């Protein structure tokens, strides 16, 4: 039985997992989940992930939650090329450093922008005050600036530019490869979805 990924592509961590699996030609069955419809609260999904959040993975009898844990599981199980999750101790530690940091930085600030710019005004129909938007954007820009400064400074970048992306293009630039930029892209591609209709929804279900 093929590995299954339970994803809602409106969700940033789900997109990181999806992009990573696709880029590595990892065979999987996509189990689409609509968080806006509250499908995470259904009986079937409860058996896959008791914390009822997406993404989730099922590989035979084995179920796994948390996007970072899923990314690492896939990288190790499918032995993806070394630049994704390097075998070298210190390079791997550098990737782990980003993956640990991003939860409270890019993830948190990106998620806030998604709520303020898409879900609250377009789905819930409530206008968001400009000062709230400005403050959220400033937080997000703070994290992006940190990545840019760090990328352009480190010696590691000169030796292995694909690990952390090219200076001036954040680590999500087209030339950037690896788990760090992969995870970053999932977080920042919400903008592309903004023109689309989220379809059926239930208020407050996310
Ligand atoms: N730390 C988790 C976060 C997962 C998460 O918060 N997922 C959200 C979508 S982005 C979700 O499933 N929300 C549904 C809910 O809270 O009911 C990860 O990285 O996988």
Q: pLDDT at position 176, please?
A: 55
What pTM was computed for the model? Answer: 0.79
User: Whose CA is closest to atom 10 on ligand 1?
Assistant: 11
Give ligand 1 pocket residues (Cβ under 6 A). Answer: 11-13, 35, 40, 52-55, 66-68, 206
DSSP state of 128: P
CB atoms within 10 A of CB 45: 18
Give distance in angstroms: CA of 54 to centre of ligand 1. 5
Length of the chain: 206
Same topology between domain 4-77 and domain 89-193: no
Instruction: Return the best residue to mutate from 13, 36, 182 for the ligand 1 pocket (most ligand atoms within 8 A of CB).
Output: 13
**87-109 per-residue burial string, b: 16 or more CB within 10 A, e: under 16:** eeeebeebbeebbebbeebbbeb
Q: pLDDT at position 192, please?
A: 52
The listed CATH number (3.30.360.10, 3.40.50.720, 1.10.1040.10, 3.40.30.10) that belongs to domain 4-77: 3.40.30.10
Q: pLDDT at position 46, please?
A: 96
Task: Give the whole-angstrom CA distance, residue 136 versus residue 130.
Answer: 10
The one-digit pLDDT tens for each residue of the chain (206 residues) are 799 999 999 999 999 999 999 999 999 999 999 999 999 999 999 999 999 999 999 999 999 999 999 999 999 999 999 999 999 999 999 999 999 999 999 999 999 999 999 999 998 999 999 999 999 999 999 999 998 888 766 544 454 443 344 333 333 333 356 777 767 767 666 545 444 433 333 333 32
Fold of 89-193: Glutathione S-transferase Yfyf (Class Pi); Chain A, domain 2 (1.20.1050)
Domain ranges of the chain: 4-77, 89-193
């Amino acid at each position: 039985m093929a590995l299954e990924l339970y994803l809602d592509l409106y969700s940033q961590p789900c997109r990181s997992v999806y992009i990573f699996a696709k880029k590595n030609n990892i065979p999987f069955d996509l189990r689409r989940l609509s968080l806006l419809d509250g499908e995470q609260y259904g009986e079937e999904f409860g058996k896959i992930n008791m914390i009822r959040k997406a993404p989730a993975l099922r590989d035979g009898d084995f179920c796994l939650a948390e996007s970072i844990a899923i990314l690492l599981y896939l990288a190790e199980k499918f032995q993806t090329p070394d630049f994704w999750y390097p075998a070298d101790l210190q390079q791997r530690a550098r990737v782990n450093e980003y993956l640990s940091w991003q939860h409270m930085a890019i993830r948190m600030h990106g998620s806030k922008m998604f709520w303020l710019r898409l879900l609250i005004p377009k789905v819930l129909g409530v206008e968001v005050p400009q000062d709230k938007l400005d403050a959220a954007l400033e937080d997000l820009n703070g994290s992006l600036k940190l990545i840019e400064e760090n990328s352009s400074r480190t010696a590691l970048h000169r030796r292995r530019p694909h690990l952390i992306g090219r200076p001036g293009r954040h680590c999500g630039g087209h030339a950037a490869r690896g788990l760090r930029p992969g995870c970053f892209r999932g977080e920042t591609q919400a903008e592309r979805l903004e023109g689309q209709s989220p379809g059926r929804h239930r208020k407050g279900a996310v």
